[in-house]
C-alpha cells in the first residue's frame, strides 16, 4: 500500500499541514519538528507526489528553465545548478528549449507559464536579454530571474544575476599583452548574445589601456560554434600580417581555431597563442589545453534559482548578484616569437 501524507502526519504526531510545510521547506518551522517529520518520512519511505502537491496547493513547486543556446556544456551546467537548488528547496524542474527568434516566442512562454502553473522561470541569454519577452512575462505577473552579461543594471525591480564578461575579457587580453603580444585578433560569437558585445568591449578596452591599436580586420564576426572558430582562424592565418594571438569569444570557438591552426602547420603556442572563455570541457579536451576565463555556470544557475525561490516565498532577499569571471592559465598561450 502506498504511503500517504496522512500516514506521515500520524507517525510523526503532527498535522498534515505541518508535514506539507516541512516537505516544501517552508521557513519558520522548528528544527525539532523538521527532524521529527523527516524521521517519519525516512521510516515510512514516503515519496511526495509533486503533481498532486501542485494540484492541492495554491502555490506551485515547479521551476521552468528556458533556453536557446547551441552550447551543450553550458546547458548541462545550467541544468545541474538549477536542479541543485530545486532539490535543496523542495522544487521540481521543467526544462523548455525554444527558438528565441520565433515570432511566437512571447505567446509560447506566457502560455507555458500559465498552463504549467510554474513557480518561476530561470531565463538565460538571449531570452533574458529580450525586452519583448520580459514585457510579455511582466504582463502576466510571471516570477522570473534573468542571467545576463554585464556589470550593472538600470532596473532594480527584477531578479538578476550578472556575469561581468567585460572584466573577464579585459583580464584574458591583458594576459596576452603581458606575455608580449601586440597584435591580437578576436573571434566573435553570435551578435544576439549580449556576452559577445561585452567580451568584445573588454578586449578593446584592454588594448586601449595599453596604447595598442585595434585592428578591425582582425575582429571577425561568427557564432558560438567549433566550425565558426575554424573558419575565423583560417581567415586570420591567411592574412599577410596575421596576429600573433587570438582571443576567442568562447572555448568552442577557441577549440575550432586551435584545430585550424594545427592543420595549417602552426605550433600552439609557439607560433600562435589562442585563448578562450567560459572554462568549459572544450578547454580541457584540446591539445594543448586552452588558457581561458573561468565562468562558474553551475554556481550562477544555483544562485539564480535560490533568488527566484526566495522571492516566491516572499522572503527578504537581494535582487541582484554579480559574478566576475577570472582567467585560468594553461598551455595555449606563451610569449610571441622574437
Evaluate whether 276 touches 199 at the Cβ level (below 8 Å).
no
> φ and ψ at 275, to 5 degrees?
-125, 150
pLDDT recorded at residue 320? 84
Q: Which of 305, 321, 304 is nearest to 87 (CA)?
A: 305
174 domain-assigned: yes
> φ and ψ at 230, to 5 degrees?
-60, -50
pLDDT recorded at residue 55? 41
Q: Enter the pTM of the model.
A: 0.80
pLDDT digits (tens, 9 = 90+) for 114-129: 887 788 999 999 889 8
Residue-by-residue DSSP string for 109-152: HHHHHHHHT-SEEEE-TTGGG-HHHHHHHHHTT--EEEEEE-S-
CATH code, 273: 3.40.50.2300
Gap between the Cα atoms of 293 and 325, Å rounded: 6
Sign of the CA dihedral 133, 138, 139, 143? positive
pLDDT recorded at residue 29? 78
CATH code, 24: 1.10.260.40
75, 216: one domain: no
197, 159: one domain: no
172, 262: one domain: yes
329 domain-assigned: no
142 domain-assigned: yes
303, 276: one domain: no
83, 139: one domain: yes
132 domain-assigned: yes
Number of domains observed in the structure of the chain: 3
176, 279: one domain: yes
Total Cβ atoms within 10 A of residue 122: 29
42, 67: one domain: no
List, edge to edge, every strand of the sheet that includes 184-187.
219-220, 184-187, 245-248, 273-275
57 domain-assigned: no
Tell the residue number behind the cell numbers 538571449, with chain if given.
126
pLDDT recorded at residue 317? 61
335 domain-assigned: no
276, 175: one domain: yes
333 domain-assigned: no
Question: What three-state secondary structure class fits 94?
Answer: strand
Q: Which of 136, 3, 143, 122 is nearest to 60 (CA)?
A: 143
pLDDT recorded at residue 214? 93
pLDDT recorded at residue 246? 98
170, 285: one domain: yes
Ranges in the chain, pLDDT < 50 = 51-52, 54-58
Question: What three-state secondary structure class fits 274?
Answer: strand
138 domain-assigned: yes
Domain that holds residue 39: 5-48
183, 279: one domain: yes
pLDDT recorded at residue 54? 47
Amino acid at each position: 500500500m502506498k504511503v500517504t501524507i496522512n500516514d506521515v502526519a500520524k507517525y510523526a504526531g503532527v498535522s498534515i499541514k505541518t508535514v506539507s510545510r516541512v516537505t516544501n521547506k517552508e521557513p519558520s518551522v522548528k528544527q525539532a519538528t523538521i527532524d521529527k517529520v523527516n524521521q517519519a518520512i525516512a521510516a515510512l519511505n514516503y515519496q511526495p507526489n509533486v503533481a498532486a502537491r501542485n494540484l492541492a496547493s495554491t502555490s506551485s513547486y515547479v521551476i521552468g528553465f528556458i533556453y536557446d543556446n547551441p552550447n551543450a556544456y553550458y546547458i548541462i551546467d545550467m541544468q545541474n545548478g538549477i536542479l541543485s537548488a530545486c532539490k535543496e528547496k523542495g522544487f521540481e524542474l521543467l526544462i523548455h528549449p525554444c527558438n528565441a527568434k520565433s515570432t511566437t516566442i512571447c505567446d509560447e512562454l506566457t502560455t507555458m507559464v500559465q498552463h504549467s502553473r510554474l513557480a518561476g522561470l530561470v531565463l538565460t541569454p538571449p531570452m533574458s536579454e529580450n525586452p519583448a519577452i520580459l514585457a510579455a512575462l511582466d504582463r502576466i505577473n510571471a516570477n522570473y530571474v534573468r542571467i545576463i552579461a554585464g556589470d550593472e543594471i538600470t532596473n532594480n525591480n527584477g531578479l538578476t544575476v550578472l556575469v561581468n564578461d567585460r572584466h573577464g575579457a579585459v583580464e584574458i587580453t591583458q594576459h596576452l599583452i603581458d606575455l608580449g603580444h601586440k597584435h591580437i585578433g578576436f573571434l566573435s560569437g553570435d551578435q544576439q548574445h549580449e556576452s559577445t558585445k561585452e567580451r568584445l568591449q573588454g578586449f578593446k578596452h584592454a588594448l586601449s589601456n595599453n596604447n595598442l591599436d585595434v585592428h578591425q580586420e582582425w575582429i571577425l564576426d561568427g557564432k558560438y560554434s567549433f566550425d565558426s572558430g575554424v573558419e575565423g582562424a583560417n581567415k586570420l592565418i591567411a592574412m599577410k600580417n596575421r596576429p600573433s594571438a587570438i582571443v576567442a569569444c568562447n572555448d568552442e570557438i577557441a577549440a575550432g581555431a586551435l584545430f585550424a591552426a594545427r592543420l595549417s602547420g602552426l605550433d600552439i603556442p609557439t607560433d600562435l597563442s589562442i585563448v578562450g572563455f567560459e572554462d568549459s570541457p572544450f578547454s580541457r579536451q584540446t591539445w594543448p589545453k586552452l588558457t581561458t576565463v573561468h565562468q562558474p555556470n553551475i554556481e550562477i544557475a544555483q544562485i539564480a534559482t535560490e533568488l527566484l525561490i526566495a522571492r516566491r516565498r516572499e522572503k527578504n532577499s537581494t535582487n541582484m548578484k554579480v559574478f566576475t569571471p577570472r582567467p585560468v592559465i594553461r598551455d595555449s598561450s606563451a610569449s610571441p616569437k622574437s
